[in-house]
Amino acid sequence: MELKRNSSEGIESWNEVILVYNAALKQVQTKMEILNDEFQHVHQYNPIEHIKARIKTPESIVKKLKRYGKESTIENMIEYVNDIAGIRVICSFTSDIFRIAEMIKDQKDIQVLTTKDYITYPKASGYKSYHMIVTIPVYLSDRIVDTKVEIQIRTVAMDFWASLEHKIHYKFEGEAPDYIRNELIECAQMVSDLDARMLSLNEEILKLSRKREGYA
């Protein structure tokens, strides 16, 4: 594995790449935690169950660049690989996903480049998640680097399914037997039904709570 030097926004070494993308991850993660804290204090409710953050490995980056037909340079890595820095936000309910996505869009220093709504339009495999590619400015001592971060927002149930699907994909190198793929699709429907029922149950609990408190 080799990533060749090639100047892009002043980033010329793998160490600088790690520095900048880690800084971007910290900023986005902190923003998510602050929003969650705000909801707790204002609404007595936490939409975020937990947050996962990771930097893509050099091997994974090179593999992706090869799939794109690009030379393995730092310049190409920064330009063409959008998920070097990744944040996964795990929610309780599907309604939280869109609420959090809107809150991210409202952040003044975050620029949303692309969104993919696999909640409304799931993949053929049954995969569901809400994806955003954003940029956030990283302030270094001598310059500002607008850095891309991929944000995935999904429920606990969706995350459980996606984790299993990911393991199966790599176990069979993307060529899982038909009966396993069919089972996964059925499980995805079960996850979708579970999320819908849990959301409905939560809304009913909230309605009863408001009645008890005299708000309805």
Residue 41: in which H helix or E strand, if any?
A: helix 14-43
pLDDT of residue 12: 57
Q: What is the pTM for the complete model shown?
A: 0.87
Check residue 92 and report its DSSP letter.
Answer: S
Strands 144-155 and 48-55, how do they pair? unpaired
pLDDT of residue 34: 93
Cα 139 to Cα 5: distance, rounded to the nearest angstrom:
22
Residue 173 has pLDDT above 90, yes or no: no
Q: Which of 57-66, 73-82, 169-178, 203-212 has the lowest mean pLDDT?
A: 169-178
pLDDT of residue 215: 55
Identity of residue 19: L
Mean pLDDT computed over every residue of the chain: 89
pLDDT of residue 15: 84
pLDDT, one tens digit per residue, over 19-76 is 999 999 999 999 999 999 998 888 778 889 999 999 998 888 998 999 999 998 888 9
Cα 117 to Cα 202: distance, rounded to the nearest angstrom:
23
Cα 84 to Cα 210: distance, rounded to the nearest angstrom:
44
> Domain 14-157 - what CATH class?
alpha beta
Phi-psi region of 44 (alpha: psi -120 to 50; beta: other; left: phi over 0): left
E strand intervals along the chain: 48-55, 85-91, 111-117, 130-139, 144-155
For 156, other C-beta atoms within 10 Å of its C-beta total 17
Cα 73 to Cα 133: distance, rounded to the nearest angstrom:
21
| Separation of first and last alpha carbons in the chain | 63
| Nearest C-alpha neighbor of 56 from the set 67, 65, 43 | 65
Stretch 148-168: mean pLDDT: 94
Give the 3-state secondary structure of 139-180.
Answer: ECCCCEEEEEEEEEEEEHHHHHHHHHHHHHHHHCCCCCCHHH
Residue 8 has pLDDT above 80, yes or no: no
pLDDT of residue 195: 95
